[in-house]
Structures are given as C-alpha cells and as structure tokens.
Amino acid sequence: METHYNNRNRKLDKLQREKQTKRKTDTHHQRTQFYTRTVNLTNIRFSQEELALLNNGLQYSIEKPLKKYWTNLIMETEQAVRMLDSKMQAPLRILATKKLKQISASDNHHNVMAKRQTYILKNINSKLEKENAMVAKADKGKTCVIIYTDEYNKKVHNFLNENNFQKLQKDPTDKYQKLITKTLQHSNLIVNKKQKKYLTQKKPRPKSTDQTT
C-alpha cells in the first residue's frame, strides 16, 4: 500500500512540475513579439513619442475632439432609444444620459491626448517631407516601413519589370463597373432591388498600393 501511494505522489509531483514549466513557456510566448512594428530604412531620427505613434500602425486613427461629433452622438442616441419599446425608452434614456455625461467629463483627457498626437504626427510628416521619405506597409504582417520615396519607387519598378507586368492603355474600371451594373439589372430573382445600390460604387477607381502617414 505504501508503495502504491509513493508512486501516486511521484506522478502528482511530475504533473505539477510539467504544469509549472508549461505556464512559464506560455508566459514567454505571450511576451514574445513576433514582428517589429516599425522598421526605419532611412537615416531619419524619430523621438520615442514619434516611434510610439508609428507603432500604433497605419490603421490607427487619432481621436477627434468631442465637440466635432457631440451633437451627432446625442441625436443618434435619441434616435436609437425611440426605436425601442415605449416602456423601455424612459429608463434607457436615463442610462444613456449618464453615459453621455461620463463621456463629456472624460473629454478633457482625450482632448489633450488627441492634441498631443496631432502635434507628433505633424512632426513626423515634416521629417518625412523634408527627407523625401514615406511610410509604407510591409508585404507581410502589420509592420510600418519608413523608406525614402525614390528607393520605394525603384523597388516597385524593379518588381514590375522582373515579373513582366504590362501597362494598360486604358483604365478598365469603368468597363467593369458597367458590366456589374448590367448584370445586377438582370438579377432580380437573386438580388433584391433595395440591395443593388449597396453592391456598386458611385465613382470607383483602382486602389493605390502606396500608404503614407
């Protein structure tokens, strides 16, 4: 019996050690950053604040001052409340009012931060313009690449030449737009008439691959 319990204890100790090792490994993976957020291929020097803003990525948007969207926020909130059951409108309107007051009270902090980030962004753009550089997205991942514009254009041209791309004589976007519109007109049994306007763009144009801050 004693041997049996000793074997059980050894197994429990082994499981505990394996669990602790796995926890340390998981923590290490969580702390590991698999890609650099910003790669600077130029000689331009950026401050810590500028790098921090760049590390947010190209999709990061600086928050607008509250006064620019405050009226619309109130109107849209009221409109949403009116769409609910009449019995629920009064209590939800009170909750919405409290939330709006909280947003208004915290506006000063967000406004200061937004102004600071706007100032930092102007400094970044000023340095890029002065050195004829740009910010582009890397081929893989979400890394921002700071590169001289001439060097970027050279890389693009080399890529196009090496892969036998041919320049089109005319932009085919309008042709495809007309084809899509015509197809939708003959698809009444598949596409609802009210949905058609959401499936086309009014003024389509090819998307540029250049991305700058």
16-57 residue pLDDT tens: 666 666 555 555 545 555 667 899 999 999 999 999 999 988
Domain membership of residue 58 (yes or no) is: no
Q: Would you call 8 helix, strand, or coil by DSSP?
A: helix
**Residue 213 pLDDT greater than 60, yes or no:** no
> What's the confidence (pLDDT) of residue 3?
61
Q: Classify residue 184: in a domain, yes or no.
A: yes
CB 44 within 8 A of CB 95: no
User: Does residue 100 lie in a domain region?
Assistant: no
Q: What angle do CA 28, 34, 140 make, to 5 degrees?
A: 165
User: What mean pLDDT comes out for the span 56-61?
Assistant: 85
In this structure, the number of other CB atoms found within 10 A of the CB of residue 207 comes to 6
Q: Is residue 197 part of a domain?
A: yes
> For the segment 3-20, what is each residue's pLDDT rounded down to a tens digit?
655 566 666 666 666 666
Structure tokens at 136: 């582009």
pLDDT in tens, 80-110: 888 888 888 888 889 888 888 887 777 666 6
Hey, which bits of 51-107 come out as E strands? Answer: none
Is 142 contained in some domain?
A: no
The answer to whether residue 139 is domain-embedded is no
Q: How many C-alpha atoms does 46 have within 13 Å on its Cβ side?
A: 26
The total number of structural domains that make up the chain: 1
Residue 186 near residue 175 (C-beta atoms within 8 A) = no
Q: Are 208 and 171 in contact (CB under 8 A)?
A: no
More confident residue, 72 or 140: 72
Collapsed DSSP state (helix, strand, coil) of residue 173: helix
Phi then psi dihedrals of residue 29, to 5 deg: -65, -35
C-alpha span between 152 and 148 (Å, rounded): 6
Is 199 among the domain residues?
yes
Domain coverage including residue 182: 172-205
What gap in Å lies between CA 125 and CA 115, rounded to an integer?
15
Q: Is residue 185 part of a domain?
A: yes
pLDDT digits (tens, 9 = 90+) for 164-178: 888 888 888 888 888
Answer whether 68's CB lies under 8 Å from 94's CB.
no
3-state SS string for 104-145: HHCHHHHHHHHHHHHHHHHHHHHHHHHCCEEEEECCCCCCEE
Contact of 146 with 139, CB cutoff 8 Å: no
